[in-house]
Structure 1
Amino acid sequence: MDPSDLMFTLYPYAKSLHIMAVLSWMAGLFYLPRLFVYHVEQAEKVQDTVPIFLQMEDKLLRVIMRPAMYVSWAAGIFIVLTPGVVDWSSVWPWTKGVSVIAMTWFHHWLVFRFRDFSTGGNKLSGRQFRLMNEVPTVLMVVIVVSVIFKF
């Protein structure tokens, strides 16, 4: 069997896996900044909550977000390497690609903010985390519009 035939056969499975992984990753990208807002605003008010926030944030990052990001990337790369799926002369794969890289940067930015919380070095306010919570929404809109309309 030709490798491109195998890739085409596996394409619907890769696409399904990609969509599920992206949904999980996005859920974490939406929720973690919100947890950081609560961490900043409530942890000082309610005694002994810092370890609870740190545990929730750590589990969300390690157990859900990181694996989902890896699977999103792996399945996405498989999809774009499948012959005939992507028209590289169009604009949409490039806007999606740049947005996915930006989303990955945001993921890593969140990891560094978690490390700041872990060491007691957080300098950002709840308002700043609320504003940053809009980043994955904007990137999601660009990605979905790019893929659906295929400019």
Structure 2
Amino acid sequence: MAYLYLKAVHIIFVVTWFAGLFYMPRLFIYNVEAHTQPQAERDLLHRQFVKMMRPLWYGITWPSAIITLIMGVSVLLKGGWIQGLFKPEGFWLLLKLILVLFLYAYHYSLHRIFKQQVAGIYRYSSDQLRMWNEVATIFLVAIVMLVVVKKEISVIWGLVGMVLLIFILMLAIRIYKRVRSKGQ
């Protein structure tokens, strides 16, 4: 019974963590684009975006990432998943955990961008940040597919699907950029 509650809390905080991972790069993009405005407007917008970013990052995204990790480890231990991790039937879980490690690296990269932007340092263009914003989507799709499909998933078809998803996302970004530049 406790296992199901741990699992439910884990899933809830995965959702809130991803909410932060999806929204934070959008704020980065808006902040970078505000940097092109006249000085007075730029300063006002920068203060506003920092005011929006701080509670999202420190009040939702970071706590959710930490609780996700704690609950995820608890689910692994309480559910007995560790024993099968390096067996053929646990291959999906091993892949998922590797993706989760990369997801935490992505989270840390957003933390670095956050700290830079708060300091008024803009190292990435809005187009670069738009592409970086889609990384969370790729992780989400890959991890959910592994969890739901488990050992029935074909590594080859999984990779083909991921490449196709990445292609579609990059195409959508290019189309958006064209539409946006025509509107200006």
User: Under a length normalisation based on structure 1, what TM-score does the superposition of the two structures give?
Assistant: 0.89
2:2 equivalent to 1:10: yes
2:176 equivalent to 1:150: no
Contact 2:3–2:79 (CA under 8 A) maintained in structure 1? no
Q: Which has the larger radius of gyration?
A: 2
Instruction: Identify the residue that residue 141 of structure 2 maps to in structure 1.
Output: 141
Matched residues in 2 for 1:33 and 1:68: separation? 17
Residues 83 and 15 (structure 1), Cα distance of their counterparts in 2 relative to 1, 3 Å cut: closer
Matched residues in 2 for 1:44 and 1:50: separation? 11
Instruction: Identify the residue that residue 121 of structure 2 maps to in structure 1.
Output: 121
2:70 equivalent to 1:74: yes
Uncovered stretches (5+) of structure 2, i.e. residues with no partner: 152-184
Report how many aligned residue pairs link the two structures: 143
Instruction: Identify the residue that residue 37 of structure 1 maps to in structure 2.
Output: 29
- Taking CA–CA contacts closer than 8 Å with sequence separation of 6 or more, which of the two structures ends up with the larger relative contact order? 1
Please list the CA deviations of residues 77-98 of structure 1 after superposition, one character each: whole Å capped at 9, or x if unmatched.
0001124446311211111101
Please list the CA deviations of residues 15-47 of structure 1 after superposition, one character each: whole Å capped at 9, or x if unmatched.
110010000000110111111111111243271
2:20 to 20, 28, 36: 28
Please list the CA deviations of residues 66-118 of structure 1 after superposition, one character each: whole Å capped at 9, or x if unmatched.
11001100110000112444631121111110111111111111111011112
Contact 1:95–1:142 (CA under 8 A) maintained in structure 2? no
Instruction: Identify the residue that residue 50 of structure 2 maps to in structure 1.
Output: 54
Query: Which is worse superposed, 84-93 or 126-135?
Result: 84-93
Q: Which amino acid aligns with 2:129?
A: F
Instruction: Identify the residue that residue 3 of structure 1 maps to in structure 2.
Output: none
> What is the alpha-carbon root mean square deviation over aligned residues?
1.4
Structure that is richer in helix per residue? 2
2:89 equivalent to 1:99: no
Matched residues in 1 for 2:131 and 2:79: separation? 40
Q: Secondary structure at the match of 1:150?
A: helix
Contact 1:11–1:79 (CA under 8 A) maintained in structure 2? yes
Uncovered stretches (5+) of structure 1, i.e. residues with no partner: 1-8
